[in-house]
Amino acid sequence: MARVTAYVVQFALLCTFLAAFASAQKVSGGPVPALPAATLQASAGSFDVNAAVDTYLRKMPPSERARSNSYFEGGYWLLLWDFLSTIAVMWILLRFRLSMHMRDLAERITRVRALQTALYWVQFILFVSVITFPLTVYEGYFREHKYGLLNQTFGPWVREQAIMLAVSMVLGGILIALLFGLVRRLGKNWWVWGAVVSILFLTFVSLIAPVYIFPLFNKYTKLQDARIKDPILSMARANGIPATDVYEFDASRQSNRVSANVSGFAGTLRISLNDNLLNRCTLPEIETTMGHEMGHYVLNHAYKGVVMFGVVVVIGFAFLNWFISFGLSRWGETWGIRGMTDVAALPLAAIGFSVYFFLLTPVTNTVTRTMEFEADMYGLNSARQPDGEANVDLMLGEYRKLDPGPVEEFVFFDHPSGRTRITAAMRWKAEHPETASPEELARPLF
């Protein structure tokens, strides 16, 4: 066992090294352009990048801008309320020994340890879902409607929540049973393998999700329109992506947000775009969006994400190990928890993980935001539609603050802001004046 543990520690060190390397690269090629305005102008003849950015930003009317800012900034507070409500609910489970009773019930029903753990999980997730339901309804239904971002009525919305609950009941049950199995077998060293198992499990889920989970919420059909399908497949071939079909999905049943993705691998590889993108966007806008998505694929962002997120998870599990030991040594008896191997300690683990990920928000956001910016650059280079790109960036500004301060963007943004993205597009356009599109520039969006 010692050799195995040493191997895992080496793997963790390697991950840390890779992440450090990746973030060092990021700093030197950072998303927010550091070039002074004079340089931008000098390199591009008469084209003024900053003026072009402002022209695009002005396409969004002030009322629309205010609505989007208010929606997005409200999201900062929701981070805090979600965090505090999780802590409160977990504390209730521990303090009133509800967690202990759930474990006792599971033990009365079956003698198989793994099943006991899964049965505990079912009670746990049901309790948490019910008690946080008012907050979920406010966040996911009323607030989205208030800002005009949800197309669903209450019935279908609740139905989707129920499907999500069922999915997390099954997948969460498997993961928790695996993790507590490890704790029982490995004792103090559980966290190293726990992190590895969690990473592998999350990777597996994200690979099967496009085929087995997403279709539970949306209908996927093959795109027939050759005027759109052919240019996309041509771009895919040119970029070495082995796709033979493009899929369309009916996201408009949930919202008007535009989105697309390239998902899966080998046999399950598919390019999908949503009907909002098809209905609201011109071909140049669709092409630049697909170029971005192909960038994620070609640049192996899914695998890089697993490595970087893996580092976060390994450190998180180490912290969790310490946090649970500390909590149980003080209050374990009061809460009726027998020790680390007892599944009734799960609410304590949830508190530890919430604290960790809450504090790490800027780190995890920066990991994804950096990759999103890379995909933007790939999209510009492959689709060569800087004006189309700027228009799509404005549409995304319907639900993401368009022009935040630099610290705000660093802390809260998991994608670059509209200003950052449009600046990149205009900087690219300045170097490729032949790609300018007066039609896209003049196209009204709001």
CA distance 366 to 305: 11
Q: Which of residues 391-420 bind Zn ion (CB under 5 A)?
A: none
* Distance of closest approach, residue 430 Cβ to Zn ion, in angstroms: 23
Residue closer to Zn ion (CB basis): 256 or 288: 288
Please state the closest distance from residue 292 (CB atom) to Zn ion, in A: 6
Binders of Zn ion among 138-197, rule CB under 5 A? none
Strand residues in 166-236 grouped as ranges (E): 220-222
H or E stretch covering 271:
strand 270-274
Closest CA to 385 of 445, 426, 439, 435: 435
**CA–CA distance, 376 with 424 (Å, rounded to integer):** 8
Pairing of strands 246-249, 270-274: parallel
Nearer to Zn ion, 296 or 401 (CB): 296
- Nearer to Zn ion by C-beta: 59 or 421? 421
CB of 379 to Zn ion, least distance (A): 9
Residue 286 class from Cβ within 10 Å (0-12 exposed, 13-18 middle, 19+ buried)?
buried
For Zn ion, the closer of residues 118 and 375 by Cβ is: 375
Closest CB 273 distance from Zn ion, rounded Å: 13
Looking at residues 322 to 381 of the shown chain, list those that interact with Zn ion (rule: CB under 5 A): 372, 375
Nearest to 12 by CA among 299, 316, 300: 316
Dihedral sign, CA of 368, 125, 199, 314? positive
Angle at 342 between CA 197 and CA 175, to 5 degrees: 25
State the nearest-atom distance from the C-beta of 293 to Zn ion, in Å: 7
> Least distance to Zn ion from the beta carbon of 3, Å?
40
Closest approach, Cβ 375 to Zn ion, in A, equals 5
Cβ proximity to Zn ion, 144 vs 372, nearer residue? 372
Binders of Zn ion among residues 23 to 82 (CB under 5 A) are: none
Number of residues in contact with Zn ion, rule: CB under 5 A?
2
DSSP letters along 247-265, please?
A: EEE-GGGT-S---EEEE--
Q: Which is nearer to Zn ion, 161 or 364 (CB)?
A: 364
Residue 419 or 421 with smaller CB distance to Zn ion: 421
In this structure, are residues 193 and 8 in contact, taking their beta carbons and an 8 Å threshold? Answer: yes
> Which residues of this chain interact with Zn ion, rule CB under 5 A?
372, 375
